Structure 1
Amino acid sequence: MRKILVLIAALVAISSATAVADVRIDFGFMIPWQLRAQIAGLDEESEDLNLDVLSEITILLPEVMVAYQEPVGPVNLGVGLRGFSLIIQSLMWPVVYAEYDFGPAVVDFNFGGGAFVFLGLYNDITTGSLFFPDLSAHAKLGRRFRAGLGVAGVLGRDIPDGVTPYMIYLSAKFSFLN
């Protein structure tokens, strides 16, 4: 029953935005560069665990976001779905975002999670207490192509207190606005 209520709420939120918003589709690749975890010590000092992913292997994570976007002054606000694919398994979750366009550069903050759609070998719709804040900056190369870097974190009830996992990544994507 909880899954059905989450799905209905998402459909209502997305369908109510269609009357005034533009459809936006982003697709591209995210390349993890650094996987890190900030761990707070008992003596108020913190330790930073770091894995330089690019020195070991290059992983291309296909990424897509389908959203409704509405300009509010110089900021674009949006709501939609964001997802990643590992060829045989894909994962999507609801997302809200704010984007500021500086002309040749774009700064984007999005926050998503809470409900997840699994597609592929394992298919399911589930809820959970994981959320993903993401801050990125991209250079606009032409009207639609963007390249840049960002940092994404993981927040949730199941993550131990004092541990803050995050990833620094490189990104390249195409952005289409209808």
Structure 2
Amino acid sequence: MDQNNLKGIRLEEAVGKLFERQGYANVQLDRLMKGTSGATHEIDVYGEKITKSGLWRRSARTGAAECKYKANGMKVEKKEVSDFVVKLHDLSIDYGVFVTTSSFTEDATNLAKYYNVETMDARISNEMFKKNGIDYYSRIHHLGIKVDGPAVDAARTVVDIADKLGILKAVFGN
């Protein structure tokens, strides 16, 4: 698996955890949904926030996140935000947030603000992850040491599988 794809997947997982910590239920990653137009859209992170109003009434507020891992110096462009706005509208999603590991162009920021899409650049997302106890950046950036290649990808995959199976916790006691 390509290192940038792996970093993008990790970003989606971290944002999914953030959605859960913000009170969203039924959080799903890479959900395919059919819009009112008939087009199918992929949503990186989707969740529902159930609210009570009165004794019996409940309503669901839907939320979605678009997650973009960007290498150093790359910015989220207006077209990427525009595509996300179309998804939100076509799927009648109440809340949208665009999260990146980089930053946004001025046009992308202006468009997001106009359509009430929250933006989280690298600084803001890092603060939110820390505030909510989500470890994304230290797992991704590996203490600032740049490593790359298929052997590294394979090693990360093995570590991830071991982590999911609880082997790391059993061995290292953390």
Higher RCO, Cα 8 Å, sep 6+ = 1
Larger % of strand: which? 1
